[in-house]
A and B are shown apart, each in its own frame.
Chain A
């Protein structure tokens, strides 16, 4: 078990609890998709899971060890975090942005040098964005930026990647690029991933397990096919949803379609 959350509860100071009794585990090379309505606390859950926010009660274990007992630099040299995309105050180039992902491996006064430069170029090549090395990150499209951020996560050589809504706002092609990347990293290189997503269809395509949060403050957790059923999605999101199975190129693809508002 690479990551385990035990009975995690969280509340922002002076507010009522947003996360209540969350437990899940993640094996090496598997992908967990977190779903839930807007404002339910998906991002908060990701932040608590990796210690960017402190659990009120409960704990996160990384390879069996409480993450607060692991030195931050050694923890973050094994885990990469990609927040929801946003702008940057300064115009870093793609290459500079990717090199920033190597920071946790550098000693206190060390700066990235030749070695990191070569690593950054290789990882950008691998993700297919070599041409973005000199481009200003603030001028990139959503899809380009997301791939740069993935490259920044990969240069860290992580065992676990946390992605906050990686495919939101991207077109079909870019969605597939991002999802295929997550899938192949998990299956071929054993890099586990936790992703937040608003699209059950994407979760069904890429994830092994799913955690679906609802307004009642409880969460459904289990294999993705068992959690993301028509009834569960309908009740969680307060809509009427149907799950459709499409057979294409010998693959069974499940698609979730919201049909109407509930009631």
Chain B
């Protein structure tokens, strides 16, 4: 019980700290006052309110949801594919979503339209992957991963082609920045499109997390546990890909979280997904807040998210690997 409380408090505290930090630092009591006035619905200090509630809060909420969602999706795919190195992108969702976004930017659509088109492309790419992999009953996991790799490289090629034809004066930079990932443009309206999907996906995974343990055994053992194998897998695949597509369409590519965070969780509590999933949600949210705070306050210019996650993630991951080689047979 206290562990659950701790897991909830960790990202919240980080979130409040992050609300204070930035180009203009706001004292904690002013942040709390702004939050309070936002909840009650009355305006307090106008400048603080603008910074905390209108600028920083949506970013931080987005970071929390995206970080938690991607970490949870990563943990899911790792158990599902018996592979500790699986990431949320295995089934080609990310590249599909990116193609949608590139297309929308080339067609000069608004930010919200870009997000929606990217989301639709992401979900369509998973549908395609599942279709390529074959019928429900005899869809083997190897085929699924192969199909994911194929779709992923196909979409990457289409993405490159689109970039090649894009106007290098304004479209190409816009596309490049979008692909590198950022929470800069976070608004409550963007959150309203992406968050419900990520929350639903995470809730499904959280509710069914015991079954992830069963799925990580061999196929025969999973069947001999009395579960409907194909159906259970499909539930997890859909939940995890919806999360990924919604995240990428909201803030661009965010690497590393889906791989790094579940591993940290496993090193802390073992492999039982009853603990790994909740802890991944919490650590993912915390990690993302940290990265976003760095992104907007470490330098004069805003740094891209995917660059930071890799720069911070790689050394952390290497040191974790060195410390516990036994976790990887």
A88 touches B216 (CB 8 A): yes
Give the chain B neighbours of A47 by CB distance below 8 A.
220
The reply on B54 being an interface residue by CB < 8 A is no
What is the total number of residues of chain A having a CB less than 8 Å from a CB of chain B? 34
Q: Are A93 and B270 in contact (CB under 8 A)?
A: yes
Q: B113 — which chain A residues lie within 8 A by C-beta?
A: none
Residues in B with CB closer than 8 Å to A55 are none
Nearest CB on A from B97, distance (A) = 28
Closest to B83 in A: A89
Asked whether B224 lies within 8 Å of A52 as measured between CB atoms, the reply is: yes
Given contacts A77-B226, A96-B272, contact A103 B326 (CB under 8 A): no
Q: Mark A73-90, 1 if CB is under 8 A from B, else 0.
A: 111110111010011111
* Complex alpha-carbon distance, A101 and B217, angstroms: 11
**Residue interface mask A216-230, B partner, CB < 8 A = 1:** 000000000000000
Interface size on B, residues (CB 8 A): 29
| A83 touching B221, Cβ below 8 Å | yes
Q: Is A244 interfacial (CB-CB < 8 Å)?
A: no
Give chain B nearest CB distance to A202 CB in angstroms.
23
Judge whether B217 and A100 touch: CB under 8 Å.
Answer: yes
Asked whether A181 is an interface residue with its Cβ less than 8 Å from the other chain, the reply is: no
Interface centre among B213, B218, B224, B226, by most chain A C-beta atoms within 10 angstroms, is B224
**In the assembled complex, B210 has its CB within 8 A of some CB on chain A:** yes
The answer to the question of A112 belonging to the interface, with a C-beta cut-off of 8 Å to chain B, is: yes
Q: Is B23 an interface residue (CB 8 A)?
A: no
Q: Could you say which residues of chain A place their CB within 8 Å of the CB of B327?
A: 91
A103 contacts B214, C-beta separation under 8 Å = yes
B212 to A: closest C-beta gap in Å: 10
Residues from 190 to 229 in A contacting B, C-beta threshold 8 Å? none
Flag whether A92 is at the interface (Cβ < 8 A).
yes
Within 8 Å by CB of A90, from B207, B220, B266, B274, lies: B266
**B223 close to chain A: CB less than 8 A:** yes
CA distance A101 to B82 in the complex (A): 19
Query: CB distance B326 to A136 under 8 Å?
Result: yes
Contacting B220 at CB < 8 Å: which of A81, A87, A91, A112? A81
Interface contact B217-A109, CB-CB below 8 Å: no
The one of B79, B208, B217, B225 in contact with A76, judged by C-beta atoms closer than 8 angstroms, is: B225
Produce 1/0 per residue, B193-231, CB < 8 A to A. 000000000000001111001101110110111111000
B184 within 8 A of partner (CB): no
A88 touches B217 (CB 8 A): yes
CB–CB A76/B226 < 8 A: yes
Q: Which residue of chain A is the closest to B221 with respect to CB atoms?
A: A83
Closest chain-A Cβ to B259's Cβ sits at a distance in Å of 15
Asked, given contacts A83-B220, A100-B213, A103-B214, whether A89 binds B272 with beta carbons under 8 Å apart, the answer is: no
B323 part of interface (Cβ distance < 8 Å): no
Chain A contacts with B in 37-53, Cβ cutoff 8 A = 47, 50, 52
Q: Contact at A80–B217, with CB atoms within 8 Å?
A: no
Set of chain A residues within 8 Å of B149, measured between Cβ atoms: none
**Inside 8 A of B223's CB, which chain A residues have their CB?**
52, 72, 76
B22 within 8 A of A: no
Minimum Cβ distance to chain B for residue A114 (Å): 13
- Is A57 an interface position by the 8 A CB rule? no
Q: In the assembly, what is the distance between CA of A93 and CA of B274, in Å?
A: 13
User: Does A103 contact B227, Cβ atoms closer than 8 Å?
Assistant: yes
Q: Which residues of B have CB within 8 Å of A246?
A: none
> Which among B208, B213, B225 is the interface contact of A109 at CB below 8 angstroms?
B208
Q: Which residues of B contact A92 (CB under 8 A)?
A: 213, 270-272
Q: Is the CB of A104 within 8 A of B82?
A: no
A176 within 8 A of B: no
A89-B84, A92-B272 are contacts. A75–B226 as well, Cβ < 8 Å? Answer: yes
Q: Note all chain B residues with C-beta closer than 8 A to A104.
A: 225-226
B217 surroundings in chain A (CB, below 8 A) = 88, 100
CB neighbours (8 Å) of A86 from chain B are 218
Complex CA distance for A86 and B82, rounded to whole angstroms:
13
User: Any chain B CB within 8 A of the CB of A63?
Assistant: no
Question: Contact: B226 with A103, CB < 8 Å?
Answer: yes
Q: Is there a chain A Cβ closer than 8 Å to B329's Cβ?
A: yes
Sample of 21 A–B contacts (CB below 8 Å): A72-B223, A72-B226, A76-B224, A79-B224, A89-B83, A89-B216, A89-B329, A90-B79, A90-B216, A91-B266, A92-B213, A92-B272, A93-B270, A96-B272, A100-B214, A103-B227, A104-B226, A106-B210, A110-B210, A111-B209, A138-B329
* Additional A-B contact list (20), CB under 8 Å, known A81-B221, A100-B217, A111-B274: A72-B227, A74-B226, A75-B226, A76-B226, A79-B224, A83-B221, A86-B218, A87-B329, A88-B217, A89-B84, A90-B216, A90-B271, A91-B329, A92-B270, A93-B270, A103-B226, A103-B227, A104-B226, A138-B326, A139-B326
Chain B interface (Cβ < 8 Å from any Cβ of A) = 79, 82-84, 207-210, 213-214, 216-218, 220-221, 223-228, 266, 270-272, 274, 326-327, 329
Closest 10 CB pairs of A and B: A104-B226, A76-B226, A73-B226, A90-B271, A89-B82, A103-B225, A81-B224, A111-B210, A96-B272, A91-B271
